Amino acid sequence: MKRESWKLLVVDDEPEVHKVTELVASEMMFDGLPLNLLFADSKQSAMEVLNENPDTSVILLDVVMETDHAGLDFVKYIREELKNDCLKIILRTGQPGSAPERETIEEYEINDYLPKAEVGPNRLFTSIKTALRDYTHYEIIQEQKIQIEKDQKVLLVIGFFVFILVLFQVFVLYYVNKLL
């Protein structure tokens, strides 16, 4: 896929988190392209931003916003309603008790879990970079899958024509032998 930047959606109801994320990620590059930071402060605004930017690669997502599980509801929306398995989701929570790490990783299809109290600039940088790397790997696999499906269709058509050709040869040989 040809792109000009990597879209990273930051979903958090704390403006300070937006600012810190911008400080860490604004100068980041991946595969020679900059990050384009998008911001939302609620599940509803995140849905709108994502619908306007379906090529978003990574989401940094808070759990507790307008409700105790708004972030987790947004994950369900992405995976179940949008059927988007490619998008990488990094869950960031300031209240780990409302979304315990093990249970959340087991129940929701997220790619990383970061308690805000433990996330410094290096850890955030690492999580974003590895999520982008995973995203590109997933894209490559999807492109190869599409190519394999195309190749299978071509081979099926070729096989059909070979079958018809062989059948025609058998038919010709049968009638040539009958005439002789």
Which DSSP symbol is given to 117? Answer: G
Query: pTM to 2 decimals?
Result: 0.80
Residue 74: closest CA among 94, 99, 96, 95 = 99
Q: Kindly tell me if the per-residue pLDDT of 166 is higher than 90.
A: no
User: Distance (Å, rounded) from C-alpha 28 to C-alpha 125?
Assistant: 8
- Read off the pLDDT of residues 15-31 as tens digits, 9 standing for 90 and up: 999 999 998 888 899 99
- Read off the pLDDT of residues 114-162 as tens digits, 9 standing for 90 and up: 888 888 889 999 999 999 999 999 888 888 888 888 888 888 888 888 8
Structural domains present in the chain? 6-141 (3.40.50.2300)
Q: What is the dihedral of CA 94, 99, 104, 109, to 10 degrees?
A: -60
- Read off the pLDDT of residues 44-103 as tens digits, 9 standing for 90 and up: 999 999 999 999 999 999 998 999 899 999 999 999 999 999 999 999 988 767 778 888
Helical (H) or strand (E) element with 10: strand 6-11
**Where does 53-180 have alpha helices with state H?**
70-76, 101-107, 121-179
Q: Which amino acid is at 79?
A: R
